[in-house]
Structure 1
Amino acid sequence: MSGHSSETGSPARRFDAERINTLVQTLAILGAGAWGVYTFIYEARIKPSLEPPAVSVTTTLVKAGERDDHVAIRSTVTRRNVGRTGVRVLGLVYNVIGVRAHFAARPDPGALGGDLDGASQVAAARAYTLAEPGTVILRQGVLFAGATEGPAEASDLNSGEAVSRDLIVYANRSEFDFVRFEVSLAYAREDDPPVKLRFEADRDGALSLKPRAECRADPAPCRPLRTTEFGTEFSLW
C-alpha cells in the first residue's frame, strides 16, 4: 500500500498572500497619511477661510490733565482680529458725547416702580435723570482703502493682529457730568469684495457708517459687510 500526502499551500500561493497583505498595509498607511494631510490642510486653511470675520473693539480711557473746568481724556481704541481669517477694515467712526445729569431736590420714591412684565429694557434712577441723547463733543470718521473711490490707506488685520489709535478729547465738566465714547467699525473678509461706504449724521450730529448701495433693494453688494460697535463712559467728577 502506497501512502499519499497533500501540501497545505504552495510557495507561490504563500508569496501571493504575503504580497497582498503587504500591499493592503501599504495602502492603509498611505491612506492614513493622506487623511492626516487633508485634515491638517482643512483645519489650517480651508476651515478658517469659511468662517466669518470677527473683530473686537476696546477703548481705554485715562485722565490726561485738566485746566480750570476742562478735562483732557486720552482714549486708546484697539481693534483686534479675533477670528481665523484675514480682515479688511473698511471704516471707523468715533463719537464723543457729553451728558448732563439732573438731580432731584427730593428723590422720587416711585421712580423704581412700574410694571416690568413684558419689558425688553429697564432704565430708571431714583434721584436723577440724564439729559439724553446728550451733546456731541467730537466726531471723527475715516474710510479705508476699498470703501471709497478716492485715495485711502489700507487697514488689513491678520488673525490675532491688533492696531491701536490714541486720541485726546477735551470736555467741560461745568457743562457735562460724564462723556460717552462710541466706536463703530465696518469690515469684511480680506478675500471678499470691499463694500463702498459713506458717512451719515443724525439730527444730533453723531456720525455713522452706511453702505453706498441700497441694501434693501439689492442685498448682494452689502452681504460681505460686518460691523462692530463699542461704547463706554467716563465720569468728569
Structure 2
Amino acid sequence: MTRAARGGEPRFTIERAASLVQTLAIVAAGAWAVYTFIYEARIKPGLEPPAVSVKTDLVRAGERGDRVAIRSTLTRTNVGRTGVRILGLTYNVVGISAVVGISARFGSDPGRARAFEAGLAGSASVGAARDYALSEPGTVILRQGNLFSGAADGPAEPSDLNPGEAVSRDLILYADRTQFDFLRVEVSLAYARADDGPVRLRFEAGEGGRLGLVPQADCRAEPETCRRLKATDFATEFSLW
C-alpha cells in the first residue's frame, strides 16, 4: 500500500503546489503595494531636500513728479514634498543708471565692443549692449530683512510652509527716475526642513551695502549645522521709463 493511500493523508499534487505559489504571489504583491504606498507617501518625501521658489511681481502704482511708486508682490512657495521652515529673508532694491558718453547721450563705444570680444575666451559670463553701458553695482535704495522663529536670538514670528503652500507679501517702494533708469530687486531666502533643527542667522552688509544673511555658527567647526541651511536667490528688473 502506498503512502498516499495509507491513513487517508492528502496527496501533495501539482495543482496544490501551483495554488500555494499563486497565494504566496498574491500576498507578496499586496505587501509590496502597501510598502510602495507607504514609501511614496511617507518615507520618500521625508528624505527629499526642502525646495522653495521665490517670485517678485512689480507693478507701477503711481507717479508724483519724478518719483515713481512701485508695488512689489513677493511670493514664496514650497515646491517640495517636505515641510519647510523659513529662517530669514532679505530684500534689496538697487537703482541702476545708464552711463552716457561725452555728448550726454547714448552712443556706440568701439572700445567696449573690443573689450567684450577679448573676454569671450576666458570668461564665465559676458554681456554688452550695443549703444549703452550700465553703472554697476548700482546704488542700494532700499534694503529690508527679517529673521523668523528659529533663526533669531530673541522672539520672532514663525514662517513655516507645508508642501504646495504659498505666502505673499506686498510692499510699496519709490524711485527717482531722474537718477535711475531701472531697478533691480534682489531677494534671498534662507530655510531648512521643518523637522530639522533651526539654524541661527545674522545680517551682514555685502557688496555696495546690500543686506545679506549668514549663519552664526562657524561652518568649519559645525559643518552639519551649515549643511541644514538652504537658500534660494531671485532677482528681477523694472524699467522706470
| TM-score normalised by structure 1 residue count | 0.90
1:55 aligned onto 2:52: yes
How far is the alpha carbon of 1:201 from its aligned partner? 1.1
How far is the alpha carbon of 1:202 from its aligned partner? 2.4
Q: Secondary structure at the match of 1:231?
A: strand
Structure 1 residue corresponding to 2:145, chosen from 141, 146, 169: 141
Which structure: larger Rg? 1
Structure 1, residues 146-192: CA drift from partner, whole Å, max 9, x if none?
00121111111111111111110000111111111000000001111
Alignment of 1:30-45 (within 5 A): 30-45=27-42
1 CA distance for matches of 2:235 and 2:21?
A: 62
- Give structure 2 stretches of 5+ with no counterpart: none
How far is the alpha carbon of 1:15 from its aligned partner? 6.4
Give the structure 1 partner of residue 131 of structure 2.
127
- Give structure 1 stretches of 5+ with no counterpart: 1-5
Letter in 2 for 1:34: A
Higher relative helix content = 2
Q: Secondary structure at the match of 2:196?
A: coil
How far is the alpha carbon of 1:13 from its aligned partner? 3.5
Q: Secondary structure at the match of 1:53?
A: coil
Deviates more, 1:217-226 or 1:75-84: 217-226
Give the structure 1 partner of residue 110 of structure 2.
109
2 CA distance for matches of 1:149 and 1:16?
A: 75
| TM-score normalised by structure 2 residue count | 0.89
CA contact (8 A) 1:96 1:136 kept: yes
Structure 1, residues 51-92: CA drift from partner, whole Å, max 9, x if none?
111111011010000000000000111111111111110001
Identity %: 66
Structure 1, residues 76-126: CA drift from partner, whole Å, max 9, x if none?
111111111111100010001111111224421342233211221112233
Deviates more, 1:62-71 or 1:133-142: 133-142
Give the structure 2 partner of residue 236 of structure 1.
240
CA contact (8 A) 1:103 1:127 kept: no
RMSD of Structure 2 on Structure 1 (CA): 2.1
Number of positions where the alignment pairs a residue of Structure 1 with one of Structure 2: 232
Letter in 1 for 2:95: G
Give the structure 2 partner of residue 68 of structure 1.
65
Deviates more, 1:160-169 or 1:217-226: 217-226
Q: Secondary structure at the match of 1:44?
A: helix
How far is the alpha carbon of 1:214 from its aligned partner? 1.0
Alignment of 1:189-228 (within 5 A): 189-202=193-206, 204-228=208-232
Q: Secondary structure at the match of 1:89?
A: strand
